[in-house]
Amino acid sequence: MNDSDHDRRSDLAVLSSAAELTTIEFVGELTIKTIAGAHARLTEVFGASGAVKADVAEDAVVDLTFVQLIESARRTARETGVAFDLAAPAAGQLRETLARGGFLAAADDQEFWLKTSEGR
């Protein structure tokens, strides 16, 4: 792997686990080029934990692929009874991508992504 490949990769393998809660830290590039690793990690954690938090770094490089992965994780969580949430409100490029993609239109989406209980 050359230096430019390293700069583009996602450093998402940082995990912390306390009792039934597992937190996955997503940092670096979270795009179509690196989404397979993020998907694999989420799949692994969903099979072994009762509650999952996604901690997305404010300076993460995000595209719609990552947003779609998190939306899919939300659906899977509902279907399997796993509690799934973000560790903090979406910020930085993630928030910009959500707005551009129309993912903040519904109150329940705003509550999940932005941590607003009133849908603001």
Please check whether residue 92 lies inside any domain of the structure: yes
Residue 6 CB burial class (10 angstroms; 0-12, 13-18, ≥19): exposed
What does the pLDDT look like over 29-79, one tens digit per residue? Answer: 999 999 999 999 999 888 787 899 999 999 999 999 999 999 999 999 999
Q: Examine residue 58 and state whether it is found in any structural domain, yes or no.
A: yes
69 SS3 class: helix
Q: Which two structure tokens, joined as six digits, stand for 27? A: 């940092």
Residue 25 located in a structural domain: yes
Q: Is 86 within the bounds of a domain?
A: yes
Within a domain: 120: no
- Check residue 8 and give its pLDDT: 43
Whether 119 is in a domain gets the answer no
How confident is the model over 82-106, as a mean pLDDT?
Answer: 96
pLDDT at 15: 54
CATH for 81: 3.30.750.24
- Which stretch of 17-21, 60-64, 105-109 has the lowest confidence by average pLDDT? 17-21
- Structural domain harbouring 27: 3-114
Examine residue 26 and state whether it is found in any structural domain, yes or no: yes
User: Residue 75 is which amino acid?
Assistant: R
Confidence check: pLDDT of 1 > 70: no
Number of compact structural domains in the chain? 1
